[in-house]
Structure 1
Amino acid sequence: MRAAKTVQSHETASFKAFDKGDFRKVVYDMDRAIDHSPACAKFKIRRAEALLKLRRFSEGQEAVNGVLYQNPRDADALYVRGLGLYYQDNIEKAQQHFQQVLKYSPDHTKARLAFKKCKEMKTKKDEGNALFKSGKFREAYDVYTQTLTIDPHNVFTNAKVYCNRAVVGAKLGRIDEAVEDCNKAIELDENYLKAFMRRAKCFMDLEKYEEAVRDYEKIFNMDRTKENKRLLQDAKLELKKSKRKDYYKTLGLQKNCGEDEIKKAYKKHALLHHPDRHSNKTPEERKQEELKFKEVSEAYSILSDPKKKMRYDSGQDLEDMDGFSGAGFDPNQIFQTFFGAPGGFSFGSGGGGGGGMGGGFPGGFHFQF
């Protein structure tokens, strides 16, 4: 009688814990009940279902397989095995199990609901994939969002849907949102390689190279292929380059710019920041403009030289470049060489001489702004 009351107490407690979503407590209570009733299939099945909810899939499958070995037609055990397949994104086999359950037990409510979720999940996921393949990215994004609301317990399917939505988000230019979706996918499946790959690519697009290197290191440890090694090396190179002066940014250029674009950009920024144009400003403001003028000239000296540009783009340190030294750099010489100004310049809106870089440019060309 004492043993029977103990079993009954644990069974009641397990029902309450299951309804609250406290599946660890369910496993605990079923273990205690099974100690007294080792042949009870019902307790083993409930324990197996709780293990699946805790994502302890191999333990749950092993437990329910033991029951099915004794009785292959046990509808509840078949349902739980189908649930395990469903939670591991094996949707088609899960559907087959739920159909088999309903064949043996037509009134099995859980199997009927699970079969419906399976069908809905597969339909929505396939719909989103089809929209993506046809280039309808906004529609695909919305469908993937709807798919994520079907069953929060289906972690592996949801991880794939989050990753798919991240791909669509990146296509739509919503890179930060794509990173968040990758984060959620990785939270659900910490070994999801595709989610790490997508997030690393997003970090590269966002120029967050330290984060990209961390992800590519993780990816290479998970899958040591030549391609993944190359991606890691590329990310490390971009990280190294990001810590140097960004000459393209200084001139407002894209990295794939041509020679004419570089010349136009230099002309625009050199004239904008030339000290003689700002001779009527405060000493501090003139100093800032002188600095910007020097940076513009420095950027042009590298990007306008094909060899230096190639070496800069490849990530080589500036100190290693022959013929370039920041200490002996003369921005006025580059300016005069570019504009062909042996006699100097005067700026219509800024007055004649007084610039800190060269003491003024009497005579010569005259620019109006």
Structure 2
Amino acid sequence: MINFNRFFSSLPLLLATLAVQYDEGKTESNAERLLKFGNSLLAQGQLAEALTQFNSAVDNDPKNYMAYYKRATVYLALGKSKAALPDLKMTMKLKPDFTSAFIHHGNILLKIGKMDEAAKDYQEALRQDPNNQEAKTNFESIPALKEHIIDAGQFVKENRLTEAVDYYSRVVMYMPWNVTFRALRAEVYMKEGSYYKAIDDYKSITKLKPDSMAEYLQMSKLHYALGDLEDALSDVRECLKLDQDHKQCLPHYKKLKKLDKQYSQAQEFINGGRYEEAIQKYTKTLDTEPDVPLYKMRSKAKICHCYRKLHKTVEAFKICNEVLEHDEENVDVLLDRGETYLIDEMYDKAIEDFRKADEIENTQRTEEALNRAQKLHKQSLKRDYYKILGVKRNARKKEILKAYRKLAQQWHPDKHEEGPAKDKASKMFMDIAAAKEVLSDPDKRQMFDQGEDPLDPEEQQKRQQWGQPFGGGFNPFGSGGGFKFHFP
């Protein structure tokens, strides 16, 4: 079956070939026909096809300077500047008065940093065409570039890093294919702490030289120092592709791979609510990487989170504080410490942490945490059902009911004589019953934990206005209360 899409897409190329063969076959040489066809393809942006035609033209007529020049043009368009140099050299040899060939040859030499050789090409171009502005500008830039290189080196010695970067950048602008000056600028970037800029230079170097193991290793170390563990692993793998037994890349890779695996396993434990195991795994990362503060603090921040989830407030406070001493704007840790303050009912401190986190990040999670803490603080000034029953905020329903029964027996009004003692018992009994009603009901308990009292008359009224549940008041002695006591 005919593939019409492929047929029609190749039709222009076929017609152009036939046209050249038919119309010009009798009057032009084979090389000239190939050149004309190559030019047509080049104009259409079909570089690979044009290169094929120019290769054939060179083979058919090795003394045709234009065939070499056109092939060099394609090499340059393909980013293969080194391949273009011999063709331009041959063009200059076959046609010594071809000014453009000298300029292109000089431009390539200048870009790779061969300034003296480039200067000779520009001089010859200017001898042939004294008004050629491109040759004149580039030729006159060379002495200044040599001075910039010397000055940049002196600035580095004097620790004038900003000026050194500026001068090396001027050099790199004219010599973008020179590995040496990019490497020198990268070193200055590292000294001033501009790691990402240094990485960009090293990345360019890896495209300019085939044996880039040292550059890939340096990129990996910089990404690692920045906390970009995934990128660091990717870089060092490129080094190992070039040399799988590289003496520096291999141990560096093993360390990074081990740390990455530990982090992944620890996060899986957190996702599964296995916080004790997560703490153990994050503690091991501190042995894998004991020196780089960024990773130590990253692991300790996660340990802080796990202790908070386990309601181990003493341990959580200790390690959260340690992280915040190094990074006071760590939002995750501020939120975890704030939650720990809530567990210990230190509402002012919690609000302070949540407010700071919200100022830094200002997202839904920080706003919700702050609003919840403010509600809980307001609620704490009223009735605290957890305190009434004497249970922790993370107490299970079984513990709540047990505490309720014990206190209900203690404070039941029937067990107290008439007078102040009975009045106090009635008040305590009502509070105990209210606490039991709220904390034993998942929905009401959730509302209370979010800072709302489902038995508060004002809040009941608001909920009724909005059509929400839990209206109708509360009577511990009513028939629907369900509070029956059987004393031995």
TM surpasses 0.5: yes
Q: Which has the higher contact order (CA 8 A, sep 6+)?
A: 1
Answering whether residue 235 of structure 2 is matched by residue 97 of structure 1, we say yes
Letter matched to residue 198 of structure 2: A
Q: Which runs of 5+ in 2 are unaligned?
A: 1-148, 169-179, 439-443, 460-476, 478-488
Instruction: Show the counterpart of 2:283.
Output: 145
Instruction: Show the counterpart of 1:281.
Output: none
Q: 2:387 aligns with which of 249, 273, 276?
A: 249
Q: 1:212 aligns with which of 338, 350, 355?
A: 350
Secondary structure (helix, strand or coil) at the match of 2:287 reads coil
In 2 relative to 1, CA 8–154 (structure 1 residues): closer, same or farther, beyond 3 Å? same
Cα distance in 2 between the residues matched to 1:36 and 1:233: 50
Answering whether residue 218 of structure 2 is matched by residue 80 of structure 1, we say yes
Letter matched to residue 320 of structure 2: C
In 2 relative to 1, CA 143–254 (structure 1 residues): closer, same or farther, beyond 3 Å? closer
Letter matched to residue 379 of structure 2: K
Task: Write the mapping of 1:62-141 to structure 2, written as runs, cut at 5 A.
Answer: 62-69=197-204, 72=207, 73=209, 74-104=212-242, 109-133=247-271, 136-141=274-279
Answering whether residue 293 of structure 2 is matched by residue 179 of structure 1, we say no
Cα distance in 2 between the residues matched to 1:101 and 1:298: 76
Cα distance in 2 between the residues matched to 1:131 and 1:319: 43
Task: Write the mapping of 1:269-280 to structure 2, written as runs, cut at 5 A.
Answer: none
In 2 relative to 1, CA 299–156 (structure 1 residues): closer, same or farther, beyond 3 Å? farther
* Structure with the largest fraction of helix: 2
In 2 relative to 1, CA 71–226 (structure 1 residues): closer, same or farther, beyond 3 Å? closer
Cα distance in 1 between the residues matched to 2:255 and 2:410: 61
Secondary structure (helix, strand or coil) at the match of 1:148 reads helix
In 2 relative to 1, CA 9–293 (structure 1 residues): closer, same or farther, beyond 3 Å? farther
Q: 2:196 aligns with which of 39, 61, 74?
A: 61
In 2 relative to 1, CA 161–253 (structure 1 residues): closer, same or farther, beyond 3 Å? closer
In 2 relative to 1, CA 232–264 (structure 1 residues): closer, same or farther, beyond 3 Å? same
Cα distance in 1 between the residues matched to 2:369 and 2:331: 14
| Identical pairs, percent | 18
In 2 relative to 1, CA 86–210 (structure 1 residues): closer, same or farther, beyond 3 Å? same
Letter matched to residue 111 of structure 1: C
In 2 relative to 1, CA 32–198 (structure 1 residues): closer, same or farther, beyond 3 Å? closer
Letter matched to residue 60 of structure 1: Y
Cα distance in 2 between the residues matched to 1:221 and 1:34: 38
Preserved CA contact (<8 Å) 1:33 1:43: no
Preserved CA contact (<8 Å) 2:186 2:202: yes
Cα distance in 1 between the residues matched to 2:426 and 2:156: 80
RMSD: 5.0
Cα distance in 2 between the residues matched to 1:79 and 1:46: 14
Deviation at residue 9 of structure 1 after TM alignment: 12
Letter matched to residue 146 of structure 1: K
In 2 relative to 1, CA 45–30 (structure 1 residues): closer, same or farther, beyond 3 Å? farther
Deviation at residue 194 of structure 1 after TM alignment: 3.1
In 2 relative to 1, CA 150–293 (structure 1 residues): closer, same or farther, beyond 3 Å? farther
In 2 relative to 1, CA 77–243 (structure 1 residues): closer, same or farther, beyond 3 Å? farther
Instruction: Show the counterpart of 1:22.
Output: none
Q: TM-score, normalised by structure 1?
A: 0.56
Preserved CA contact (<8 Å) 2:165 2:188: no
Instruction: Show the counterpart of 1:232.
Output: 370
Instruction: Show the counterpart of 1:31.
Output: 161
Preserved CA contact (<8 Å) 2:300 2:319: yes
Preserved CA contact (<8 Å) 2:307 2:316: yes
Q: What is the CA deviation profile of residues 310-353 of structure 1, one whole-angstrom value per residue up to 9, with x for unaligned ones?
A: 9998369x9999xxxxxxxxxxxxxxxx9xxxxxxxxxxxxxxx
Secondary structure (helix, strand or coil) at the match of 2:390 reads coil
Deviation at residue 235 of structure 1 after TM alignment: 0.6
Cα distance in 1 between the residues matched to 2:301 and 2:280: 14
In 2 relative to 1, CA 183–136 (structure 1 residues): closer, same or farther, beyond 3 Å? same
